[in-house]
Amino acid sequence: MKQFAVIGNPIAHSKSPDIHAAFAAQFEIQLNYERLLAKEGKFASTASRFFEYGIGANVTIPFKEAALQFADECSEAANLAGAVNTLSRQGDVIKGDNTDGIGLVRDIRDNHNVSFNNQNILIIGAGGASRGVILPIAKEAPLRITIVNRTLVKAQALSRQFAPYADIQASAFDELSQPFDIIINATSASLNGEALNLPNNIFDIETLAYDMMYGGKPTPFMQFAVESGAMAVNGLGMLVEQAAQSFEVWHGVAPTTQPVINMLRNKLVRELR
């Protein structure tokens, strides 16, 4: 049986084994996909042991940067993101990729039918998740990308890094004043149930507000966006779409994602009851 895993810390909550089992069933592929807890500072030894028998691994918080160092060769997306979420063993070589950004683009563009082309995009946050989605968004030819972050210098560094790929600028929160077409919350504020200090005039009825965080109920960011007149969705589709891209890297076939998104959404709502 082919062996796969997701490596992180914590890892017990990970939905990846369910997602990959559902994808594998679509093609009658036999595989085993386990959750692997790596101790802090022990990513490389955990991954090395796994790849003695494993074919592919997803990597999640807090090891995506360590996975970039671990891989022998990395894709352009992974190098620019500074992070790897998909490792594949090909002979003696471990390849690293980053499918998070493609996952976000596919969810917004294909599942929610909202195009990035010629649109004004706001990304909130300048951490790993933000860095990972900028290049795939830039490839969709938006009008302009604005990055806003609590620590402004981090947004400025990202805008300099990605200037060759898009019209991109950094902003402080108090400089935001006009509506955007797509607003992506790539901060970890929702993880702690915290609201962001946003002005409500960045939203209008045409705005799609997207929280990368997912759960059974709307986040404070999503609630604020809806109260300000926008449409709001969470990042569950991104999770499933990034997994679909990993699955394609490993198995060479593209799974159907919508039934898996629906299954997980129902499960998350049931868990809240």
Catalytic residue positions?
Answer: 64
CB of 108 to ligand NDP, least distance (A): 12
Nearer to ligand NDP, 93 or 254 (CB): 254
Q: Do residues 131 and 138 lie in contact, with contact meaning Cβ atoms separated by under 8 Å?
A: no
CB of 1 to ligand NDP, least distance (A): 27
- Count residues contacting ligand NDP (CB under 6 A)? 27
Among 96, 125, 142, 179, binds ligand NDP (CB under 6 A): 125
Stretch binding ligand NDP (CB under 6 A), from 44-52, 110-118, 144-152, 218-226: 144-152
Residue type, 23: F
Nearer to ligand NDP, 31 or 127 (CB): 127
Stretch binding ligand NDP (CB under 6 A), from 33-41, 71-79, 147-155, 218-226: 147-155
Residue type, 198: L
What residues between 188 and 247 interact with ligand NDP by CB under 6 A? 188-191, 194, 196, 212-214, 235, 238-239, 242
* Per CB under 6 A, 99 contacts ligand NDP: no
What backbone torsions phi and psi does residue 78 show, to the nearest 5 degrees? -70, -45
CA 238 to chain centre: 6
Closest Cα to residue 16, out of 243, 253, 234? 243
H or E element: which one contains 94? Answer: strand 93-97
Beta bridge partners of 168: 145
Q: How far is CA 86 from CA 119, 188, 249, in A?
A: 29, 21, 9
Angle at 33 between CA 6 and CA 101, to 5 degrees: 45
What residues between 149 and 178 interact with ligand NDP by CB under 6 A? 149-151, 154
Count of CA atoms in the C-beta half-sphere (13 A) of 44: 8
Angle between helices 16-27 and 236-251 (to 10 degrees): 50
CB of 163 to ligand NDP, least distance (A): 19
**Pattern of binders to ligand NDP over 34-73, x per CB under 6 A?**
----------------------------------------
H or E element: which one contains 244? Answer: helix 236-251
Which residues contribute to the site for ligand NDP (CB under 6 A)?
A: 100, 103, 125-130, 149-151, 154, 186-191, 194, 196, 212-214, 235, 238-239, 242
